[in-house]
Amino acid sequence: MRIHFNKIFIISIIILCFASSVCFASFIRQTDLEFYANQDNTIDVKMTIDYETLTTDDISFIIYGEISNAGGFDENGNLSCIVYEKTYGSQIICKREENIQNNYSVTFTYKMDNIIFEENKMNKTIDTFLFEYGIIEPTDELRILFVLPEGYGLLDTETIPDYYPPDAETLVIDGRKVALEWTETNLVIGNSYFFKATYEKMTKPIIINNGDPYPRSYKIIASVVVVGLLCFMIIVSFSKTKKYRKKEEVEEEVIEEEIDEEVKVEEEKKNIEDVMLISLLKEDEKKVFNIICASGGIGKQRQIARATRFSPAKTSHIVKGLSARGLIEVRREGRTTRIELTKKAEEFLKKK
């Protein structure tokens, strides 16, 4: 009996070691995604992945969207890449010539044409960039750079946000193109991260200097500074004759305002993520999702296949894609598969 137990223990240790080596085959130091938008709403993408460790011969990653003209290269030259179209997007698999395991960098280029949406609002044409990126490998940092077409600018209104997440840095590329740069850290495996930018074509050129040695923008800034200094001097001169509120009361009000602002930002962030998550579904995914919603949020995979007339394999792929995006939960009940809407999906449907 003791010998049998020892064999089981040794086999368990071997399986655990093998599983650990597979699960942590790669560690990504940084992923850079650069999107260069064109006036025809297509985007040229350059993606650079900086691996800290990579022990596999193949490189595989997933993009939520359709791509074309895909290729890759590293320090040894071009890679042999194959693109597989999935229900949830595109999977790229590239073969490496040399198995470099530490400090390996690789770059991919491809074109996308389904992440910019055009609509008419406020009597003008507005373009919206929507992109979702899922973390499937340990990653320290994700950098997203979105470059607007030349002659376009961010939408400057209070009703439509210019970009999301709100912590993006605004840049100017080559002195002519406006760009947004996001840097995300503390990334969680299995989570999806969303990025949005709303922009429009500029109708009038911006005159920086019209023969004046001091541009108008400089004069405005100088005026604001002078007025600010005058106001500061007035406040200081009257500070001795006025009673200010107690320091504790002021701090409490500031803390309450900060808490309210944080709650508001979190609610807006969640609403934007939910809307983008539903809007990015393809027609087949929407059809399956709507059937699950129509059945009260509960269904079985066989019933969905019969209702949609999809093959079992296609239905299974779509269900896995919806589950990966956090819209449904899949549970096994004997030989059948039970599908339920997640709380996040139910809350979104109630708001809608």
Task: Choose one of 166, 201, 236: the last residue of a domain.
Answer: 201
What count of residues does the chain have?
Answer: 352
Residue 163 lies in a domain: yes
213: tokens are 């040695």
Q: What is the pLDDT of residue 252?
A: 67
Q: Specify the pairing of strand 26-37 against strand 141-147.
A: parallel
Task: Choose one of 201, 230, 247: the last residue of a domain.
Answer: 201
Q: What is the pLDDT of residue 162?
A: 79
Low-confidence ranges of the chain (pLDDT < 50): 1-22, 206-211, 213
Q: What is the pLDDT of residue 147?
A: 94
Looking at the fold, whether 286 and 196 belong to one and the same domain comes out as: no
pLDDT one-digit tens code per residue, 208-253: 444 454 555 556 777 788 888 888 888 877 666 666 566 666 666 6
CA dihedral of 54, 58, 63, 66, whole degrees rounded to 10? 160
Asked if residue 85 lies in contact with residue 63, where contact means CB atoms within 8 angstroms, the answer is no
**CATH number of the domain encompassing residue 286:** 1.10.10.10
Question: Bridge partners of 82?
Answer: 93
Residue found under tokens 């996040």: 344
Looking at the fold, whether 195 and 329 belong to one and the same domain comes out as: no
Q: From CA 348, how far away is CA 262, in angstroms rounded?
A: 21
Looking at the fold, whether 42 and 149 belong to one and the same domain comes out as: yes
Asked if residue 29 lies in contact with residue 52, where contact means CB atoms within 8 angstroms, the answer is yes
Q: From CA 114, how far away is CA 258, in angstroms rounded?
A: 38
Q: What is the pLDDT of residue 18?
A: 39
pTM of the predicted model, to two decimals?
0.52
Which helix or strand (DSSP H or E) is residue 343 part of?
helix 343-351
As for how many domains the chain has, the answer is: 2
Q: What is the pLDDT of residue 149?
A: 92
Q: What is the pLDDT of residue 157?
A: 60
pLDDT one-digit tens code per residue, 316-334: 888 888 888 888 888 777 7
Task: Choose one of 141, 167, 201: the last residue of a domain.
Answer: 201
User: Phi and psi at residue 54, in whole multiples of 5°?
Assistant: -150, 110
Q: What is the pLDDT of residue 247?
A: 62
Handedness of CA 100, 105, 109, 114 (dihedral sign): positive
The domain containing residue 326 runs over which residues?
Answer: 282-351
Residue 15 lies in a domain: no
Q: What is the pLDDT of residue 206?
A: 45
Q: From CA 245, how far away is CA 206, in angstroms rounded?
A: 46
Q: Please give the span between the terminal C-alpha atoms of the chain, in angstroms, as a whole number.
A: 62
